[in-house]
């Protein structure tokens, strides 16, 4: 694993984050009424701050990824968004309706949310159909409409052939899919998923991501929390990175990666005057940083692939014989590392 | 694996309590109640004066020779307080005076007393109609019957003693003595019967003297009479026909079932919290209060069903008679609300499922012991029998006891029912607020 050792890059990103957060609170990033908006969510548990002024908004047809390590505050955010937990400060609006009105909770706002808990929350002694019927009734569904919705939801998650088996007999992936089906029954306008793919086999994971993307393209707003960068990059239009209760940065997956020195990283190895090579490279067009590292030179550049031939010729002039040259396109793991100084996964 | 399981068990304090403490308490109380065949546990016999039936102008009404019950009271104080009979009773039998026969029957039925003797005010006098004003009372003329005046100390001897005078099942209080037998008390009826025969014997023996120098001594009056009357002793068993401890234990069992169902219900709710289904419910457009009330009603409903099942099953298979059905139904509802409320409230403090059931079971066992559910009425030592009225199940048993043992109607259980209702309201509300917090966070 490569790491960002470039302090300058990190500083720049943090500056930009501040700008972006300001933009966000100005409401510039969303147009029209968002399906879900959270503003200034703050929550402490006995002195420990779990959430600190977290704000974001999700438009219909958009999937928003909340990315963060264990204990970052993802589940706390979701619990508040679903009205399960009262924030110390902050407001949640679902399709323009506050989730809590005065002291009670708004039934209309809750009815628009489909909530997929982090852990499978179904009765193991009941079949998927029985579970779905029970939860469907809580959302005011009944009769033939409920039966049709249950059939549809079971089909959506690909459980039709096991729908009448007890949930307790399902595999981990099947349980998770049934867990999601229970949130789709009442055709919510906002789908909130708390790490839906943890401990799931590749097929189930693929099915879940496909399903989320399909529903989103049909106009559903999705809040998706995960540890997995590649999942977020795949299904989310925007990603917010949360760490220690703070929303550190928010951008599109491409926008986030371009924050790392705005560019690719190039690493060349060779023998000769590496210092001369580094300073010569710094004068090349499009190069951000150029430093000598162990046995070579590391560069950041806007477009690494175009820069390689130039670096090779500069190296020849500097009398350095190159043994390798590679372009490393940054991924979200690097973004996370650069922003928080932590690895995303434990 | 075994070591791991044992370690987990020992860490969990409720396992220690259910494993060691509770059995020790149970053993202790059982030992206390039955130790030494009653040597520790005194038998309490109550006595009351009954106004004799007097027919005036063809109408039978309650009355007494002099309208004050003085004759009966004198008899009791002569026979018992002065120690003439009481001294001959074994020292584990104690006697007490109760204000009237109704109160005496109730105390015997409730297990406060082990037995009772009702002494008619005109004991030893004829049962012919006598006008109230008449002070010259005619006496019978038959010769003395030979009844031993010695009272043996062994229960067997006591009951043998009764044979000549007891005519069981007459059902007629009349002007003779009436022994009140609580069938669930082990030796109460024998002791009460012995006391009755002692009284009768003293009356016949003519040894009763009026120590306060009243105009005439009753005993000597009887003795002096040409024809002493028969003194009948009737045994009145509290409750319905048949001698069955199940009359008392059937409601006890039903009450214990309540603790179990309430504990299981609360455990299920705590499990739902940890499994997340509770959060999923709370996220739905349903008020937390309706989730809580739904749960509470379900728990209590199952409790009520379990009581009714015990009622039906014991009646059907063991011919237990619970008494007035409307009263029993009311008592079932009252007991369910009170005991269910207490049990859910206590269990709601549990952090996990195991604790929830553990708490309900420990509380259930402790309350069952304190309330006297595990022992026949009267078997609890005195201070514990007072303590039993600090428990909802103790009150439940008072109510059920009145219905089954006393054959009382709905009116007689309104008191216990009110207490149970109050307990139910207070603890039901407390339990609901606990569950509400469980759903909300
Ligand atoms: N009910 C609670 N009581 C006390 N502390 C809590 C509670 N819920 C959450 N926390 C704390 O708040 C912080 C954020 O927790 P949260 O569950 O939101 O993290 P997360 O991002 O969902 O983590 P994970 O990826 O492990 O699910 C943690 O430090 C956690 O210990
Ligand atoms: Mg979480």
Q: Which ligand is closest in space to the CA of residue A241? A: 1
Stronger pLDDT, A126 or B242, i.e. the higher one: A126
What pLDDT, on a 0 to 100 scale, did the predictor assign at position B177?
79
E strand segments, B36-155: 43-50, 53-56, 59-62, 93-97, 115-120
- CB B286 to CB A138 under 8 A? yes
> Residue A75: CB within 6 Å of ligand 1?
yes
**Which chain A residues touch B353 with a CB distance below 8 Å?**
none
Cα B127 to ligand 1 centroid, rounded to whole Å: 87
Other residues' Cβ atoms within 10 Å of the Cβ of residue B67: 12
Distances (CA, A) of A100 to A42, A83, A93, A105: 15, 7, 9, 4
Ligand 1 atom having least distance to the Cα of A73:
18
| Highest mean pLDDT (candidates A16-30, A115-129, B22-36, B117-131) | A115-129
Q: What is the pLDDT of residues A227-281, one digit of tens each?
A: 887 888 889 999 998 988 999 889 888 787 777 655 677 888 989 888 889 888 8
What pLDDT, on a 0 to 100 scale, did the predictor assign at position A101?
65
> Residue A240: CB within 6 Å of ligand 1?
no
User: Are the C-beta atoms of residues B294 and B264 closer than 8 Å to each other?
Assistant: no
Nearest to B280 among A85, A111, A115 (CB): A115
**Which chain A residues touch B268 with a CB distance below 8 Å?**
none
- Output the pTM of the full model: 0.61
Nearest CA to ligand 1 atom 14: A73
- Any bridge partners for residue B54, and if so which? B61
Nearest CA to ligand 1 atom 28: A71
What pLDDT, on a 0 to 100 scale, did the predictor assign at position A217?
93
User: Are the C-beta atoms of residues B291 and B439 closer than 8 Å to each other?
Assistant: yes
Q: Would an 8 Å CB–CB cutoff place B132 in contact with chain A?
A: no
Q: Would the pLDDT of A326 be above 60?
A: yes
What number of C-beta contacts closer than 8 Å exist between A and B? 46
Other residues' Cβ atoms within 10 Å of the Cβ of residue B312: 11
> Residue A87: CB within 6 Å of ligand 1?
no
Cα B353 to ligand 1 centroid, rounded to whole Å: 22
> Residue A79: CB within 6 Å of ligand 1?
no
Q: How far is A176 from chain B (nearest CA, A)?
A: 13
Bin B93: left if φ > 0, else alpha if -120 < ψ < 50, else beta. beta
The CA distance from A338 to B15, in Å, is: 51
What does pLDDT average to over chain A?
Answer: 82
Close Cβ partners of B254 (under 8 Å, ≥ 6 residues apart)? B306, B307, B310, B311, B332, B335
Phi/psi of residue B157, each to 5°? -65, -35
Closest CA to A5 of A324, A326, A291: A291
> Residue A321: CB within 6 Å of ligand 1?
no
Q: Would an 8 Å CB–CB cutoff place B271 in contact with chain A?
A: no
**Which chain A residues touch B284 with a CB distance below 8 Å?**
110, 135, 138-139
Cα A232 to ligand 1 centroid, rounded to whole Å: 21
Nearest to B284 among A110, A119, A123 (CB): A110
Q: Would an 8 Å CB–CB cutoff place B386 in contact with chain A?
A: no
What pLDDT, on a 0 to 100 scale, did the predictor assign at position B38?
36
Close Cβ partners of A82 (under 8 Å, ≥ 6 residues apart)? A99, A110, A113, A115, A192, B283
Q: Would an 8 Å CB–CB cutoff place B275 in contact with chain A?
A: yes
What pLDDT, on a 0 to 100 scale, did the predictor assign at position B246?
59
What pLDDT, on a 0 to 100 scale, did the predictor assign at position B80?
65
Question: Is the sign of the CA dihedral A116, A120, A123, A125 positive or negative?
Answer: positive
Q: How far is A250 from chain B (nearest CA, A)?
A: 27
The CA distance from B173 to B161, in Å, is: 21
> Residue A74: CB within 6 Å of ligand 1?
yes
What pLDDT, on a 0 to 100 scale, did the predictor assign at position B244?
52
Best mutation site among A69, A73, A77, A343 for ligand 1 pocket (most ligand atoms within 8 Å of CB): A73
Q: Would an 8 Å CB–CB cutoff place B13 in contact with chain A?
A: no
Rounded to 5°, the CA angle A320-A323-A328 comes to 105
Q: Where are the alpha helices (DSSP H) in B136-245?
A: 155-162, 188-205, 218-224
Nearest CA to ligand 1 atom 4: A45
- Any bridge partners for residue B93, and if so which? B43
Give ranges for CATH 3.30.70 in chain A.
263-329
Cα A230 to ligand 2 centroid, rounded to whole Å: 18
What pLDDT, on a 0 to 100 scale, did the predictor assign at position A261?
55
Could you tell me which CATH class the domain A36-257 is placed in? alpha beta
Q: What is the pLDDT of residues A160-172, one digit of tens each?
A: 999 999 998 998 8
Nearest to A135 among B280, B287, B441 (CB): B280
Least confident stretch, A96-105, A137-146, B93-102:
A96-105
What pLDDT, on a 0 to 100 scale, did the predictor assign at position B173?
32
Could you tell me what percent of chain A has a pLDDT over 70?
A: 83
Cα B307 to ligand 1 centroid, rounded to whole Å: 44
**Which chain A residues touch B441 with a CB distance below 8 Å?**
84-85
Per-residue pLDDT of chain B (441 residues; tens, 9 = 90+): 455 555 555 555 544 554 556 556 655 554 555 443 333 356 778 888 877 555 555 554 444 444 456 667 777 776 666 666 666 677 777 788 888 888 888 888 777 787 888 887 766 553 333 333 322 223 322 222 222 223 333 444 433 433 333 333 333 334 677 888 766 565 667 777 777 777 777 665 544 333 333 333 444 444 444 344 456 667 776 643 343 555 666 777 778 778 877 887 788 778 888 888 888 888 888 887 888 888 788 888 888 888 888 888 777 776 777 888 999 999 999 999 998 888 888 888 888 888 888 888 888 888 888 887 776 655 566 677 777 788 888 888 888 888 877 778 888 899 999 999 999 999 989 988 888 887 776
What pLDDT, on a 0 to 100 scale, did the predictor assign at position B77?
73
- Give residue limits of the domains in chain B: 43-237, 244-440
Nearest CA to ligand 1 atom 19: A71
Cα A25 to ligand 1 centroid, rounded to whole Å: 25
Cα A75 to ligand 1 centroid, rounded to whole Å: 6
Nearest CA to ligand 1 atom 6: A45
Q: Would the pLDDT of A317 be above 70?
A: yes
Q: Would an 8 Å CB–CB cutoff place B279 in contact with chain A?
A: yes
Least confident stretch, A12-26, A89-103, A198-212, A240-254:
A12-26
- CB A104 to CB B287 under 8 A? yes
CATH of domain A263-329: 3.30.70
The CA distance from B376 to B378, in Å, is: 6
What pLDDT, on a 0 to 100 scale, did the predictor assign at position A75?
92
DSSP structure class, residue B80: I
What pLDDT, on a 0 to 100 scale, did the predictor assign at position A62?
94
Closest CA to B147 of B94, B189, B201, B95: B201
What is the SS3 assignment for B439? helix
pLDDT classification of A1: cutoffs 50, 70, 90:
very low
Burial class (CB in 10 A: 0-12, 13-18, 19+), B222: buried
The CA distance from B327 to B399, in Å, is: 9
Q: Would an 8 Å CB–CB cutoff place B282 in contact with chain A?
A: yes
> Residue A68: CB within 6 Å of ligand 1?
yes
């Amino acid at each position: 694993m490569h790491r960002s050792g470039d302090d300058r890059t990190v500083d720049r990103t943090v500056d930009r984050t501040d700008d972006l957060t300001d933009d966000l609170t100005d409401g510039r990033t969303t147009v029209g009424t968002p399906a879900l908006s959270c503003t200034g969510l703050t929550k402490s548990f006995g002195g420990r701050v779990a959430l600190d002024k977290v704000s974001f908004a999700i438009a219909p047809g958009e999937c928003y990824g909340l990315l963060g390590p264990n204990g970052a505050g993802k589940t706390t955010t979701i619990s508040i968004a679903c009205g399960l937990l009262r924030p110390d400060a902050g407001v949640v609006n679902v399709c323009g309706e506050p989730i809590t009105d005065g002291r009670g909770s708004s039934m209309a706002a809750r009815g628009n949310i489909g909530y997929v808990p982090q852990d499978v929350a179904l009765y193991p002694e009941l079949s998927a159909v029985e579970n779905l019927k029970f939860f469907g009734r809580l959302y005011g569904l009944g009769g033939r409409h409920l039966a049709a919705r249950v059939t549809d939801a079971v089909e959506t998650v690909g459980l039709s052939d096991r729908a009448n088996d007890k949930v307790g007999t399902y595999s981990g992936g099947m349980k998770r899919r049934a867990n999601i089906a229970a949130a789709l029954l009442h055709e919510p306008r906002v789908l909130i998923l708390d790490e839906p793919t943890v401990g799931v086999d590749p097929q189930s994971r693929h099915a879940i991501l496909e399903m989320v993307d399909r529903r989103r393209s049909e106009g559903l707003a999705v809040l998706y929390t995960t540890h997995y960068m590649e999942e977020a990059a795949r299904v989310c239009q925007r990603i917010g990175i949360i760490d220690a209760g703070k929303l550190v940065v928010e951008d599109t997956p491409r926008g986030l990666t371009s924050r790392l020195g705005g560019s690719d990283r190039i690493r060349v190895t060779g023998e000769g005057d590496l210092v001369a090579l580094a300073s010569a490279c710094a004068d090349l067009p499009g190069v951000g940083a150029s430093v000598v590292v162990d046995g070579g030179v590391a560069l950041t550049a806007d477009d690494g692939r175009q820069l390689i031939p130039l670096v090779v010729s500069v190296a020849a002039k500097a009398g350095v014989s190159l043994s390798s040259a590679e372009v490393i396109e940054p991924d979200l793991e690097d973004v996370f590392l650069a922003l928080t100084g932590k690895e995303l996964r434990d | 694996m075994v070591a791991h399981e044992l370690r987990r068990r020992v860490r969990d304090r409720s396992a220690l309590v259910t494993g060691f403490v509770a059995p020790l308490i149970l053993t202790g109380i059982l030992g206390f109640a039955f130790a030494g065949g009653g040597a520790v546990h005194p038998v309490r016999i109550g006595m009351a004066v009954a106004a004799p039936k007097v027919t005036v102008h063809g109408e039978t009404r309650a009355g007494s020779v002099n309208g004050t019950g003085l004759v009966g009271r004198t008899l009791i104080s002569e026979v018992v307080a002065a120690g003439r009979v009481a001294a001959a009773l074994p020292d584990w039998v104690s006697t007490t005076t109760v204000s009237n026969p109704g109160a005496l029957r109730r105390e015997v039925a409730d297990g406060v007393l082990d037995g009772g003797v009702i002494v008619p005010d005109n004991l030893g006098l004829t049962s012919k109609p006598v006008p109230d004003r008449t002070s010259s009372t005619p006496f019978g003329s038959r010769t003395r019957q030979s009844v031993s005046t010695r009272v043996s100390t062994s229960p067997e001897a006591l009951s043998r003693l009764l044979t000549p005078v007891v005519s069981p099942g007459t059902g007629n209080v009349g002007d003779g003595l009436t022994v009140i037998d609580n069938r669930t008390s082990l030796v109460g009826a024998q002791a009460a019967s012995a006391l009755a025969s002692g009284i009768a014997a003293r009356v016949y023996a003519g040894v009763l003297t009026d120590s306060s120098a009243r105009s005439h001594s009753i005993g000597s009056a009887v003795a002096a009479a040409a024809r002493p009357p028969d003194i009948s002793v009737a045994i009145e068993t509290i409750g319905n026909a048949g001698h069955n401890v199940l009359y008392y234990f059937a409601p006890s069992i039903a009450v214990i079932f309540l603790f179990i169902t309430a504990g299981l219900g609360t455990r299920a709710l705590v499990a739902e919290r940890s499994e997340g289904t509770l959060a999923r419910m709370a996220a739905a457009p349903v008020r937390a209060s309706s989730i809580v009330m739904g749960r509470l009603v379900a728990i209590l409903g199952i409790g009520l069903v379990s009581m009714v099942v015990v009622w039906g099953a014991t009646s059907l298979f063991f011919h237990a008679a619970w008494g007035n059905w409307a009263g029993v139904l009311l008592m079932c509802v009252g007991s369910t609300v009170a005991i269910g409320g207490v049990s859910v409230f206590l269990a709601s403090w549990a952090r996990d499922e195991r604790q929830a059931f553990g708490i309900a079971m420990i509380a259930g066992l402790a309350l069952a012991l304190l309330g006297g559910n595990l022992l026949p009425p009267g078997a609890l030592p005195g201070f514990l029998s007072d303590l039993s009225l600090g428990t909802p199940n103790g009150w439940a048993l008072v109510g059920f006891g009145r219905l089954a043992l006393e054959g009382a109607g709905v009116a007689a259980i309104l008191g216990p029912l009110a207490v149970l209702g109050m307990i139910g309201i207070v603890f039901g509300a407390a339990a609901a607020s606990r569950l509400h917090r469980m759903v909300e966070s």
